[in-house]
A and B are shown apart, each in its own frame.
Chain A
Amino acid sequence: MASPNPTLDTSPKVSDEVRKTTCYMCACRCGINVHMKDGTDGKKRVAYIEGNRDHPVNKGVLCAKGSAGIMQVNAPSKLKAPLLRTGPRGSGQFKEISWDEALEIATSWLGPLRDNAPEKLAFFTGRDQSQSFTSFWAQNFGTPNYAAHGGFCSVNMATAGIYTMGGAFWEFGQPDWDRTKVFVIFGVAEDHDSNPIKMGIGKLKGNGGKVIGVNPIRSGYNAVADEWVGITPGTDGLLILSMIHLLMKAGKIDLNYLSRYTNAPCLVNETPGSPEKGLLLRDGTGKPLVVDRKTGVLEPFDKAGVNPDLAGSVDMDGATHRTVFQHMAEHFLSEDYAPEKVAEKCGIKAERIWALAAEVARVAFDEAFELDQSWTDFRGEHHEKMLGRPVSFHAMRGISAHSNGFQTCRALHVLQILLGTVEVPGGYRFKPPYPKPVEAHPTPHCKSQPKHPLDGPHLGFVRGPQDLALKEDGTPARIDKAFTWENPLSAHGLMHMVISNAHAGDPYKIDTLFLYMANMSWNSSMNTSSVMEMLTDKDENGDYVIPKIIYSDAYSSEMVAFADLILPDTTYLERHDCISLLDRPICEADAAADAIRWPVIEPDRDVRGFQSVLVDLGVRLGLPGFVNNKGEAIYADYADYIVNHQRRPGIGPLAGFRGDGSKSGRGEVNPDQLNRYIENGGFFVEHVPEEAAFYKPWNTAYQDWAVGLGFYDKPQPYLFQLYVEPLRRMQLAAEGHCDRQPPDHLRQRIIDCMDPLPIWYPALEDREIDEEAYPVHALTQRPMAMYHSWGSQNAWLRQIHGINPLYVPTKIWEEKGFKDGDWAKVTSVHGEIRVPVAHMAGLNENTVWTWNAIGKRRGAWALEIGAPEATKGFLLNHLINELLPPKGDGLRWSNSDPITGQAAWFDLRVRIEKSRPRKHSKPTTSSQVSPVGEGPSTVQQKVEA
C-alpha cells in the first residue's frame, strides 16, 4: 500500500472580491468576472479573469484572449503619460507632457479649424466601441469627416444585409442554435462573434446537426465542419447563385414565405427608356403595390387580408409591370449559373455544388417543423403555429472583403430568404434592435459650416443619388469619398482611403488627422510601407503634407510613432464604457441587452479614458451638446455622459434601470444607473416575449415590444428586399435619368455592378492585372487567440502566435519544391515580400495565406528588438494597395467594392517563388524608439498577498 498523500488544501480562497465588467480583448464583448486580490501594498489587484455565467453573450465561457486579459492590463507597452513628438515622425521620439498641456495643444489645433473650416479635421476611430458617442462629438464639431473602421472591415456584410433584410450577421443576428440542423458558414475569420459561434457549433453538434464550411482554408470552424468546401477566393457569389439556380429550378423555394414577407410579389416597371424603369409600382403614399391573388386587384402590400401574387402582372399607363419574382426566375434560371458553368471558377466540382444545394433543400423542406406558438402578422392574420426550417447561414469578412463582396453578401441573404429560413424557428434570427429596415436608418449628412454642427449624422443608408455626400460642384464632400459615385452605399465610410486621399489632397487637403485605436501605420492599412511614407512626407516648405496628427491609444503601437500628439488611453479594466443599443449592442435573438465597462482597477499612470478626454475637448472647444448656452460643461466625464445623455426624450446610451430603476428602454435619467448595472453584473437584459420570438419584421407582438423599448417610435413592419431599389436608382442615374449625374468614367461600372438583383462579377483587380503572372490568391486570417496587434504585447498569447509563416497548398508546395524551413519571395503587382513558408494540405490549391497582424515593427509594443514578431513575422499588407493599378487615365481608382467602398483586401493575387532562407523577413522597416522601454525579461504572474 502506498503511504498517504501529502495534505492539500482543496478549498483555497479564490479571491477577495469579484468585479463584473465587459471584456475588450476583441469585439465580442463577453461578460467577465474579474477576481481581485489584495496585494502586499493593500491595493486590489487583478488575480484571475473568467467568463460571467449570467452574461447573455458568453454564458460563462471565455476565449484565449479574454482569459489572457490580465497580461493586457499588465502589459509593459502601456503608455504612461501624454506625449509630444520631439524627433521626426516615425522615430518614436517624444517628451512626456501634462494633460493640461496636451489638451491645450489639441484645443489650439482644433479650435481654429472649427471656426474656419471644420472639414479640415478628419476624425476616424478604429476599433472604437463608442461610435454613437464619437460620432456625436464629430457631428457637433461640424466636420463631415468622421467614420469608424467598418469600411475596411465588413461594411459589405452589414450593408448588404440591411438593404436586403434589415440586418446582417454578427451583432445583427444569430442562428437558432437550439433547432438548426444544418449550419452553413462562409468565409469566417474565426474572430467576430467568436464565442457565441463556438458555443453554437458545440450545441448544434450535440444535437446531431451538421456544419458546412465554405472557405479556402480548413482551419478553426472549417476544421470541425462536417463538410468542407475549399472554394477559390472571390467566387462565393458564383457558388451561391448556382445554388439559387438549382433550388429555383427544382422549385425548392418557400413560395408562401416569399409572397407574404418579401418584395417578390412587388411589381417592377418594365418600360424601356423610362425614368421609372426598374422601379417598383407604388401607391400615392409611396407604398409598394401587389396584386391580390384572390381578387386580382392592386393593393398596398400591407393591406389586411391581402394575398400577394408572385405571378402577378399589371399594365398601367402604358407601362408593363411584372413581379420581382418573375424577374428573379429569368435572372436565376439562366444557364450561366448552372453548376457545370461555375465549377471551374469556384474550384469546386459541379456535383459538390449540386450536393450542397440538395442538402440545404432537403433539410429546409423535408425536416420542416412547427412550433406550437401562435402569432399575428402585420396584415392582421393570426397564425396558430410557427413554421420552422432548420437551415441557417453565417458569413463574415471572407466573402465581404472583395470588390464583389456586396453582391456576394446580397446573394447569400437572397438564398436564405428563398429557402424561407430567416426569422423562422431553426433558421437565422435577428437580435434586437434588429430587424430594422433601411427606412429606419438615417441618410448620410455632410453639410458643414464654420462654428456649426454638421447638418445630421455622418453615416447612413442612401436611398438614391439625392443622398450622396457631394458638394454643390459634384465633388466629394468627405475626405474618404464615401457616398460618392465611386462607392455610393458606403455606409461605414472608407477609413482605408483617408491617409492616401489626405496625402494626395484629393478631394482636398486637411489640417489635422485625429485617430483613435487604429493602427494605420501598420496592420490596419493596406500598403503599409507607402502609408508610413505618406505620414512622413514633407512638402516643398519642409512641412509635413498631413500637417498635424493626434492619436489616442492605450499602448505603444506602431501608429504612436507617427503622431505628433499622443493622448494615452486606459486599458479596458480601468475605464467606463457603454455597449449601447444606440451603437453595436450585445443582444441575443431572445433578448435586448446592453452593458458597461467600469474601472475595476484605477490606472497606475497618467492616462485617461479617451471618451472622457473627448468630453473635456468638447467643453474646451465649446461644442454644442457638450456645453450649455452659458458655456458650462454639461458632462463631467464619459460616465456622466452615459448616465445623463438623452438622444431622444427618455432614450439614453443605456436602456436598463432607467427612471426609478424599474424602467427599461424608455425612461427618465437615473443617476444611480451605473451602480445598478454594476450590481447586475455589468449588463442589462430584457427578454423578447415568446410570441414575439420569430417572424420579427412582421410579428405585431415583436413590433409593439420594440416600440415599447424605444428601438423606434411606431411599428414598422417591412418586406425583405430581394430586389433593392436604391441600387436601381443609381443605375437609372448612370443611364442618364437623374439630376445628379455620375462622371462618365463611372457610368458603365455603376450599370454593371449595381444590379438590383444579386449578380457576380470578377474582382476589379483581376481585370487590371495579368492573372497568369499572378496566379495565386493570398489571404489573411486572424487567429482565434489573437486580436489585431494586441496579442504581441501579451506575454501568454505571443507564445502561441509569435511567428506567422505563409501557408502554401500541396500543389504549389510540390511544384516549387518547398521544404520545411524554406522561405519564399511573394510578389504582387504592388510589391514583394520575403517570408517563411509552411505546408498546409487543407487549403484551396490556388491560395496561400497567413495569420494577420503578427508581424511587428521593431521597437513597437515594448518588445525586444529581436522579437520574432519583428524579425520573422510579416504583414501581407505590403502587397495590397488601397488603389488599383493605374489605368493611365490619371485617376486614383480605389481598391474597394464599387458599391460600398469596402476595402478589397482579399482580392489580392500574387506569384510565389522559392528564395534563400533569411534571418529577417522583408521588407524590413526602420525601428522606432519605444517611449515605454522594453518589457521585463521574466514574468511570474501571481498576486502575492
Chain B
Amino acid sequence: MTELPETTQRKLGLVIDLDTCVGCHACVVACKGWNTENYGVPLSDVDAYGADPVGSFLNRVHSYEIAPTGGGCSQTVHFPKSCLHCDTAPCVTVCPTGASYKRSEDGIVLVDESACIGCGLCAWACPYGARELDQVAGVMKKCTLCVDRIYNENLEEVDRVPACVRTCPAGARHFGDLGDPDSDVSKLVAERGGFDLMPEQGTAPTNKYLPPRPKDRLTAQAADSSSLTPIAEEPKGFLGWLDMALEAL
C-alpha cells in the first residue's frame, strides 16, 4: 500500500564511509549476484556481449573529484549509491498500484513485483536514481536491503547482513538500525558527522554518508615539527654523532 507508515518500528539502513571506500565495485557485483538469484525476477543484462550493454543494477559506485575550497590538490571520492530507504519516500506514494511500499516494521522500501505495471513513475520520483526498470521483465528493481538475507534463518547470524556489506573489503559499508540512537551505526553517524544526500528534496533518507576526513595537510603540520633537525652539518660531524649515539645504546 502506497501510504507511508506514520512511523516504523526500526529504521534499517546503510551507513557508507566515503573516507574508506576505494571504489572497487565489490558491493555492486555482490549485490547483482545475490539479487539476480534471489528476490523477484533476475536482474537482466540486455545486449550483454554487444555494443550497448544495459543491465539492471541496484547499487552503483560513482567517482567524483573535489577541487578544495581553499585551494590544494584535487581529491577523489568514490561514491556508492543505492536506495536510501527514505522516511518520506516519494517513490512509494506515487505508485498507482500499491506495488511500492515501505515496511512498517523496519522501514525497508520494497516493490511487490507481482503488482508492478512498469510505469516507471516511482523511478521518476526518486531523486537518487535508486530504481531501475528491468528491461526484460518490465518491473521495477531496487535495493531490498537484502530483506531475504537479514532475517534469513538459513544463514548464520553473522551473515544476516546485506550482500554489499558482507563483501565490502574495505569495511566502508555498515548496516544497522538508524532509528535507535544507541546502535553502532547511529553512533558512527553522530561521531563522524554523517549526512543526507540532497536534503532539500525533503525525502528524509535513512541511509547516511560519512564524509571524507580532511586531507593533504601534512606540510602545514610538519612546519612545526622539529623531528628532522640535522644532527650535524658535516659528514664528519655525523660520525661524531654516531659514536655518541652508539655509546648511548
**Which residues of A pack against B, CB within 8 Å?**
1-6, 8-14, 47-51, 53, 58, 60-68, 70, 76, 190, 194-195, 198-199, 201-203, 205-206, 212, 218-228, 230, 246-252, 255-256, 259, 293, 309-311, 325-326, 329-330, 333, 349, 351-352, 354-359, 361-362, 365-366, 784-785, 793, 795-800, 802, 810, 840-843, 862-864, 866-868, 871, 934-943
Contacts and interface: CB of A to CB of B under 8 A. Distances in A.
A63 B37 contact: no
Contact of B23 (A220, A248, A863): A220
Nearest to A366: B227
A61 B218 contact: no
A5 B51 contact: no
A929 B155 CA distance: 46
Given A202-B172, A863-B49, A11 B55 contact: no
Given A224-B21, A227-B216, A867 B50 contact: yes
Contacts of B54: 799
A63 B168 CA distance: 7
B9 interface: no
Given A76-B49, A249-B230, A230 B239 contact: no
Contact of A355 (B43, B55, B158, B222): B222
Given A5-B101, A224-B19, A251-B241, A799 B65 contact: no
A3 B219 CA distance: 60
A365 B112 CA distance: 60
A251 B231 contact: yes
A64 B104 contact: no
Contacts of B23: 219-220, 223, 784
B50 to A, nearest CB: 4
A49 B219 CA distance: 45
A802 to B, nearest CB: 7
A795 B53 CA distance: 8
A142 B28 CA distance: 48
Interface centre among B3, B51, B166, B213 (most CB of A within 10 A): B51
Interface of B: 1, 3-6, 19-26, 28-30, 32-34, 36-38, 41-55, 57, 63, 65, 67, 73-78, 101, 103-105, 110, 112, 115, 136, 147-148, 150-155, 158-159, 163, 166-172, 212-213, 215-219, 221-223, 225, 227-231, 235, 238-239, 241-243, 245-246, 249
Contacts, number: 320
B48 A222 contact: no
A220 B170 contact: no
B90 to A, nearest CB: 16
A65 B169 CA distance: 12
14 contacts: A11-B153, A50-B167, A62-B30, A194-B169, A205-B20, A219-B23, A224-B20, A227-B216, A249-B231, A252-B228, A352-B218, A799-B57, A842-B75, A942-B36
A225 B23 CA distance: 13
A333 B235 contact: yes
Contact of B219 (A48, A252, A355, A796): A355
Given A223-B76, A864-B50, A202 B33 contact: no
A11 B86 CA distance: 24
B43 to A, nearest CB: 8
B215 to A, nearest CB: 6
B32 A361 contact: no
Contacts of B171: 199, 202-203, 206
B30 A361 contact: no
By Cβ-Cβ distance, the 10 closest A-B pairs, closest first, are: A935-B49, A355-B222, A198-B169, A841-B74, A202-B171, A223-B76, A866-B51, A10-B151, A784-B24, A795-B48
Contact of B228 (A221, A357, A793): A357
B213 A226 contact: yes
Contacts of A351: 219, 222-223
Contacts of A362: 225, 227
Contacts of A799: 45, 53-55, 57
Given A351-B219, A795-B45, A48 B24 contact: no
Contacts of B74: 218, 810, 841-843
Contacts of B249: 255-256, 259
B80 to A, nearest CB: 12
Nearest to A201: B170
B47 A937 contact: yes
Contacts of A223: 22-23, 63, 75-78
A293 B172 CA distance: 51
Contacts of A205: 19-20
Given A10-B151, A14-B154, A223-B76, A255 B246 contact: yes
Contacts of B216: 226-228
B246 A309 contact: yes
Given A53-B158, A310-B242, A941-B36, A63 B4 contact: no
Contact of B215 (A227, A246, A784): A227
A798 B57 CA distance: 13
Nearest to A798: B53
A329 B239 contact: yes
A198 B245 contact: no
B38 to A, nearest CB: 7
Nearest to B60: A800
B169 A359 contact: no
Given A329-B238, A799-B45, A939-B45, A355 B24 contact: no
A199 B218 contact: no
Contacts of B49: 76, 793, 795, 798, 862-864, 867, 934-937
B111 to A, nearest CB: 10
Contact of B44 (A5, A8, A940): A940
B137 to A, nearest CB: 8
Interface centre among B38, B53, B239 (most CB of A within 10 A): B53
A1 B3 CA distance: 8
A577 to B, nearest CB: 23
Contact of B227 (A227, A358, A866): A358
Contacts of B42: 940-942
Contact of B50 (A3, A47, A937, A942): A937
B75 A311 contact: no
Nearest to B153: A11
Given A333-B235, A362-B227, A795-B53, A202 B169 contact: yes
A119 B52 CA distance: 48
B152 A10 contact: yes
Interface centre among B26, B159, B166 (most CB of A within 10 A): B26
Given A8-B147, A10-B148, A940-B42, A359 B26 contact: no
Contact of A12 (B63, B152, B169, B223): B152
A479 to B, nearest CB: 37
Contacts of A311: 239, 242-243, 246
A619 B4 CA distance: 72
Given A67-B167, A784-B25, A867-B50, A250 B55 contact: no
Contacts of A356: 218
B29 A785 contact: yes
A623 B102 CA distance: 68
A785 B150 CA distance: 26
Nearest to A13: B154
Contact of A14 (B155, B172, B228, B230): B155
Interface centre among A64, A326, A935 (most CB of B within 10 A): A64
B169 A67 contact: no
Contacts of A51: 166-167
Contact of A201 (B20, B52, B167, B228): B20
Given A48-B34, A63-B169, A194-B169, 12 more contacts: A5-B103, A14-B155, A67-B30, A190-B22, A218-B75, A223-B63, A250-B227, A251-B231, A256-B249, A358-B222, A784-B26, A866-B50
Contacts of B53: 795, 798-799, 802
B75 A68 contact: no
B163 A61 contact: no
A841 B65 CA distance: 7
B67 A841 contact: yes
Contacts of B38: 12
